[in-house]
Structure 1
Amino acid sequence: MNFEIGSRHHLYFPTIDQDTPFFFGFNKDANGKPIIGSGAYDDRTYIFPTTLKLLRMNCDTSNQNHSALFHVDATYKLSISRHPLLLFGRSNFKKEIKPIVLGIISQEETLEFKIFFSSIHSLCQHFGINFVLRYMMQDAQASSSAAVRAVFGPDVTVLMCYFHLNQNVKKHLDKSVKHLKDIVLGDISCLHYCTDLTQYLNKRHEIISKWETFLELKQFKTYFVSQWIESQWLNWQLFSRPPGFSTTNNNVESINGQIKKFFAKYRRGSINECL
């Protein structure tokens, strides 16, 4: 089963107005007609809307010496088929998010993310946009981070949303360590606000050593070290991101909430309705 893009006005053409949305990233049938897969494993879905204005205003990173901060996040329950909706955007010094591209994909696997990011990269190259991605803010989504590094290079810094780190940490602070919760969260906050690597390493050694004196924190310490210090999700401190930029993905999630409220009206629709 395939879904079709309903109008050729939704496709790019050379004289398109810069504010007119168009779709890209989709597959084509034997006649070159755009189609969207059913979402099955052997019939995947890729369809990404944007505008020329959004691309040119927000993907040109030369105005910040290519140190811009980009974000990616997914939201769900917008379509009956439960396809994830991706939002790719860029934040500024005011912590405002500028949406650039939306994306409906079959599922959150590395292949889907690679096609999403490579399609954006190729589109920017096609339009001569000076797009260099060095920092990506996201949740602990391994498929996304693998795709980011595959498309934009192994030296991309994948930043962990500090809000989600805290949310996950709180889930691992069970009733047995309730009396130590404020101490632990305060320690993690101190690590987050370190301004350079040397300060962070010194403070980290001090805090881990302190935790080791509490038998109740043995299991939590093991979790925290393995998940937030020794894994790929270790970039959640202030000094790990461009100075002055956001430390969370909350602004992106706020836009996802608005999409559900104002466009989907908290109701699941078909893929065509979502488009």
Structure 2
Amino acid sequence: MIRQFHPFEFAVYSNEKQNNFEFIFSCLHGDLLNLNLQMNEQEIMLIADGAEAISNAFLKVFGTDHDVVMCWFHMRKNVEKNLYLVEDKALHGDIMNDIETLQLSTNKNIFDIATRLFLKKWKNEDKFLRYFSNEWLNSKNGWFEGLATHVPNKNNASEVTNRVIKDEDILKERLVLSGFTVVLYSIVNKWSKERNPTLINSKKFEHQPLITLSAWTHACNWVKLNKDVVSICNSDTTMYYLPAGEETRITDKEIKRYENCTFNSFGTYKSVYFNIWRVCLSNNPEKWKEATCTCPSFMKNFVCKHTVGISIILKYCKPPPEAKNVTIGTKIKRGRPSKAKIALLIQ
């Protein structure tokens, strides 16, 4: 829930063919069953860079009903390399801006609607659309945020871990298998010690998002704006509709249009769908940290000023005093707030 990477298994293989990855995923699947973690196996998903050997092996072992998240960093990088297919360079920025909008789709239905409108808007760029459709819509299409809630859209953490192993653990040397095996035991031992719960600075397995002082402050300042909030209560949860940006008011007509998802152009989709944020919050006050929001900040960080702000309004939570003392527009300094100074003594 705090986008932290926890490595727990090594695999050494001679090549990157599908049968090798099938063996690795089979071992992983067996280990998860043996650990008896009481987890929902359906929530297991793969985050990868689009290599078909890895994706196909994962789906064969775990089942085709599991999601495969395509790393947004790798996807974007590849798309930028192929923008040469659009002859007019002045359009490159607008196309990438629209693709970034697609990436913020909150669910599969919205993604499908938005991509159809995107293809309609750029229908004259036949070469690029043929590449984009074949590569990123027909096959590796798991690169939008709403594919899975509380799941990172990049595999950068594993890439960084790989770099640390090469730079610090093996010192960029090419070791023989026997020597590398010894190093592996040392690495796993280090990982285990880093996650020892008795240590003060241990890397903990978090199950709820971390609310930083900055998040508390932004939430408090958002509450002070006194924006319209329209709520629709269900049995266990309540939907809260909020005006985005500088807007302070919201109408039932705007909410209905937002929910109906009927757009005749990509521009209309952007103006409607990014003009309202929807917060889904449990009616159980103890579960306020499980709230979700459709705003980009929440999609990227799993917490935002709207989820925390609504919880503050409902008195589900109480912000720390230091979060209330920062005025809107003030940049928060890093670290703890300074303590009160000793008063002068006059004799």
TM tier, smaller: 0.5 to 0.7
- Alpha-carbon distance in structure 2 between the residues aligned to 1:170 and 1:273: 41
Aligned equivalent of 2:44? 134
Match of 1:265 in 2: 171
Name which of 55, 60, 65 aligns with 1:155.
65
Which one has more relative contact order, counting CA pairs under 8 Å at least 6 apart?
1
Return the match for 1:146 from 19, 43, 56: 56
**Does residue 123 of structure 1 match 2:28?**
no
Q: Deviations over 1:205-245 (max 9, x none)?
A: 221112113xxx321110000111111x111111111x232
**Match of 2:13, as an amino acid?**
I
Structure 1 residues 273 and 178: CA distance shift in structure 2, 3 A: farther
Q: How does 1:228-267 map to 2 (within 5 A)?
A: 228-231=136-139, 233-241=140-148, 243-267=149-173
1:219 aligned onto 2:127? yes
Aligned to 2:10, the other structure's residue is in SS state strand
Map 1:87-106; keep pairs closer than 5 Å: 93-106=1-14
- Please name the residue that 1:205 is paired with: 116
Q: Which amino acid aligns with 1:112?
A: N
CA apart distance, 1:177: 4.1
Is the alpha carbon distance of 1:180 and 1:263 closer, same or farther for their aligned partners in structure 2, counting shifts above 3 Å?
same
Identify which of 162, 165, 177 aligns with 2:75. Answer: 165
* Equivalent in the alignment of 2:100: 189
Runs of 4+ in 1 over 4 A off after TM superposition: none
8 Å contact from structure 1 (residues 138, 159) kept in 2 = yes
Q: 3-state SS of the aligned residue for 2:116?
A: helix
1:70-85 to 2 correspondences below 5 Å: none
> What amino acid maps onto 1:148 in structure 2?
F
| Superposed displacement of residue 202, structure 1 | 2.6
Residues 121-144 of structure 1 show CA distances to partners (whole Å, capped at 9, x for unaligned) of 223333434452531111111111
* C-alpha spacing 1:245/1:123, structure 2 compared with 1 (3 Å): closer
Q: What is the CA-CA distance between 1:262 and the residue it aligns to?
A: 0.3
What is the Cα deviation at residue 155 of structure 1?
0.8
Identity over the aligned pairs, expressed in percent? Answer: 25
Which residue identity does 1:271 align to in structure 2? Answer: L
Q: Per-residue deviation at 1:164?
A: 0.5
* Per-residue deviation, residues 151-192 of structure 1 (Å, max 9, x unmatched): 111211111111110011011112834322211111110100
Partners of 1:113 and 1:198 lie apart in 2 by: 31
The amino acid of 2:32's aligned partner reads C
Letter paired with 2:142: N
Distance 1:149 1:264, change over 3 A: same
Distance 2:111 2:34 in 1: 42
Distance in 2 separating the partners of 1:264 and 1:164: 26
Q: Greater share of strand residues, 1 or 2?
A: 1
The number of equivalent residue pairs is 178
Encode CA deviations 1:75-98: one digit per residue, 9 max, x unaligned: xxxxxxxxxxxxxxxxxx211111
Larger Rg: 2
Instruction: Give ranges in structure 1 of 5+ residues lacking alignment.
Output: 1-92
Question: What is the letter of the counterpart of residue 171 of structure 1?
Answer: K
TM-align CA RMSD: 1.7
Deviations 1:46-77, CA, capped at 9 Å, x for gaps? xxxxxxxxxxxxxxxxxxxxxxxxxxxxxxxx
3-state DSSP of counterpart to 1:102: coil
Task: Tell me: CA distance 1:123–1:244, structure 2 relative to 1, closer, same or farther (3 Å).
Answer: closer
CA separation of 1:178/1:264 partners in 2, compared to 1, >3 Å: closer, same or farther? Answer: farther
Asked if 2 retains the 8 angstrom alpha-carbon contact of 1:124 and 1:130, the reply is: no
1:95 counterpart SS class: coil
